[in-house]
Homo-oligomer: A and B are copies of this chain.
Amino acid sequence: MPPKKKTKVDPPQSSSDEGNSDHSGNKSANKPKRVRKKSAKATITENENKTSKTLQNKTTTEFLNQDFNNVSKTVDGENWNLKIASWNVDGLRAWIKKGGLDYLHHENPDILCLQEIKCSKSKLPPEVEVPGFHRYWNSSEADGYAGLGLYTKVKPESISYGIGIPDFDKEGRLMIAEYEKFYLVNVYVPNAGRKLVTLDKRLQWNPKFQELVKDLDSKKPVIICGDMNVAHQEIDIANPKSNKRNAGFTQEERDGFSELLKSVSLTDGFRHKYPDVKGAYTFWTYMANARKKNIGWRLDYCLLSEKLSSNFCDCCLRSEVFGSDHCPVVSFFHM
A261 within 8 A of B: no
| Residue-wise interface mask of A (41-65) relative to B, using a CB-CB cutoff of 8 A (1 in contact, 0 not) | 0101111111111110111101000
Which residues of chain B come closer than 8 Å to A133, judged between CB atoms? 12
Q: A154-B4, A180-B2 are in contact. Are A134 and B10 (CB under 8 A)?
A: yes
Mask: chain A, 7-34; 1 = CB below 8 Å from B; 0 = not: 1011010110111101111111111110
* A to B CB contacts below 8 Å, 20 in the list: A2-B154, A2-B180, A7-B157, A7-B180, A10-B134, A18-B134, A20-B121, A20-B159, A24-B138, A24-B162, A25-B138, A25-B139, A25-B171, A28-B122, A31-B122, A40-B127, A46-B60, A49-B54, A49-B57, A50-B53
Closest B residue, CB atoms, query A139: B26
Q: Chain B contacts of A287 at CB under 8 A?
A: none
* A131 part of interface (Cβ distance < 8 Å): yes
A86 to chain B, nearest CB (A): 16
Closest Cβ–Cβ distance, residue A57 to chain B (whole Å): 8
Q: Are A26 and B181 in touch, CB under 8 angstroms?
A: no
Q: Contacts A7-B180, A82-B1; is A137 near B25 (CB within 8 Å)?
A: no
Question: A175 with B122: in contact, given A4-B154, A59-B51 (CB under 8 Å)?
Answer: no
A282 CB–B CB distance under 8 Å: no
C-alpha gap A1/B170 in the complex (Å): 31
Closest 4 A-B residue pairs measured CB to CB? A52-B52, A42-B97, A25-B170, A32-B122
CB distance from A60 to the nearest CB of B (A): 6
Contacting pair A23 B161 (CB below 8 A): yes
A135 located at the interface, meaning its Cβ lies under 8 Å from any Cβ of chain B in the complex = yes
Asked if A290 lies at the interface with its beta carbon under 8 angstroms from chain B, I say no
**Distance in Å: Cβ of A26 to nearest Cβ of chain B:** 4
Closest residue of chain B to A132 (Cβ to Cβ) is: B12
State in angstroms the CA–CA spacing of A5 and B233 once bound together: 41
Return chain B residues, CB-CB under 8 Å to A141: 25-28
Copies in the complex: 2
Contacts of A124 in B (CB 8 A): 17
Minimum distance in angstroms from A317 CB to a CB of chain B: 21
In the complex, what distance in Å separates the CA atom of A241 from the CA atom of B19?
43
* A136 / chain B contacts, CB cutoff of 8 Å: 17-20
User: B4 and A51: CB pair below 8 A?
Assistant: no
In the complex formed, the residue of B with least CB distance to A13 is: B134
Q: Which of B47, B98, B99, B172 contacts A62 (CB 8 A)?
A: B47
Task: Point out the residue from B17, B23, B42, B121 that lies within 8 Å of A128, measured CB to CB.
Answer: B17
Give the residue name and chain of the B residue nearest to A173 (CB).
B25
Closest chain B residue, CB of each to CB of A109 = B1
Interface status of A293 (Cβ within 8 A of chain B): no
Further contacts, 16 of them, CB under 8 A, given A2-B180, A50-B52: A1-B82, A4-B154, A7-B157, A15-B129, A17-B137, A18-B134, A19-B121, A20-B137, A24-B137, A24-B161, A25-B172, A26-B140, A35-B123, A39-B125, A44-B97, A45-B60
CB within 8 Å for A40 and B122 given contacts A51-B97, A172-B26: no
